[in-house]
Amino acid sequence: MSEEPSEKADSEPYNDKNDPKQAAPIANAPKILDQQNRTNPSEQSQDPPKRTFLRRHDGFDVINLLVLIFTFGAASLAAYEAGRLADLTDQLVRDGQDTGRVQAELTRASNQLNRDALIASSRAWVGPIDAKIVGTVELEKPVKVIISIRNTGREPAKNFRWIPEHFITTGDMDVAVGQKIDSSLRFCFGTPSTVSGQVIFPSTGFGSGADFPIEFSKDEIDEGVIAGEKTLVIQGCIAYESFGAARHSAFCYLFKNKIGATDHLNICDGGSNAD
């Protein structure tokens, strides 16, 4: 009976809490663990390592994204420049068309000016150069006025037409007389030339012009004309052709006895023109 406890005691390890040699390691166990933690802090704080394949895959995605962004930006810039170039090209085409139209208009205007200058320097110019009274002005005697016509141009005036007119007015040239003269002037420039009419050759060549008479009857020459209270008015219209177009010259002369000279009549304030 007494031997069983001793065998149990022999089989168990000796553990005496009161033994200082065994109690020291147990008491120092927390310190040892704390020292181990302090000596290897990096091992406690390090994260588990990531896989290298995933890191490379993420880098490829970033590069592809940057390339895509750059490509999109370049394509957008190219599209903008192409649109701007198309607009500039269209504007240049429109400007070229406008310039062409302007040049065409200038060319036509220049050609017209050259043609007008050629016609003006080469056409016929027919008109009166002087008017005079033959003889003297006497009571109840007819008064003959001679209108001298000359062609000072370089081409013969064809289909010449002569339309004279005369009247007597009392006193000065009033408003009614001026309206009558202007009306005759407008009528003259609407008058056509005469087919197969007379030809007035240039006076610079062998032509000497022509003299046309206008006569006041003796009944028109009364005391008022002799006293200088009335005015003799002589108008005329000349129509002819030059360079295939109808041309006109209108004239107006006047005479008041005791004031004006009979060898060179005065010209009216209005009623004279030419085209």
Residues 269/147, Cβ–Cβ less than 8 Å: no
Whether residues 139 and 111 share a domain: the answer is no
Q: Flag whether pLDDT at 267 surpasses 70.
A: yes
Whether residues 133 and 246 share a domain: the answer is yes
177 falls within a domain: yes
Whether residues 267 and 135 share a domain: the answer is yes
Tell me the C-alpha distance between 117 and 249, whole Å: 19
Whether residues 232 and 108 share a domain: the answer is no
Whether residues 97 and 132 share a domain: the answer is no
Whether residues 104 and 226 share a domain: the answer is no
Whether residues 140 and 205 share a domain: the answer is yes
Domain containing residue 143: CATH number: 2.60.40
212 falls within a domain: yes
Question: Among candidates 124, 152, 160, 173, which has minimal Cα distance to 271?
Answer: 173
pTM (predicted TM-score) = 0.60
Whether residues 162 and 90 share a domain: the answer is no
Residues 199/145, Cβ–Cβ less than 8 Å: no
Whether residues 150 and 224 share a domain: the answer is yes
Residues 204/154, Cβ–Cβ less than 8 Å: yes
Mean pLDDT of the chain: 80
Domain extent for 147: 126-274
Whether residues 221 and 266 share a domain: the answer is yes
The CA-atom distances, in angstroms, between 4 and each of 12, 14, 15, 227 are: 13, 17, 19, 196
Q: Flag whether pLDDT at 39 surpasses 70.
A: no
Number of domains in the chain: 2
Q: Flag whether pLDDT at 172 surpasses 70.
A: no
**Which tens digit of pLDDT belongs to each residue from 88-128?**
888 888 888 888 888 898 888 989 888 888 888 889 999 99
**What helix, strand, coil percent values describe the chain, rounded to 5?**
45, 25, 30
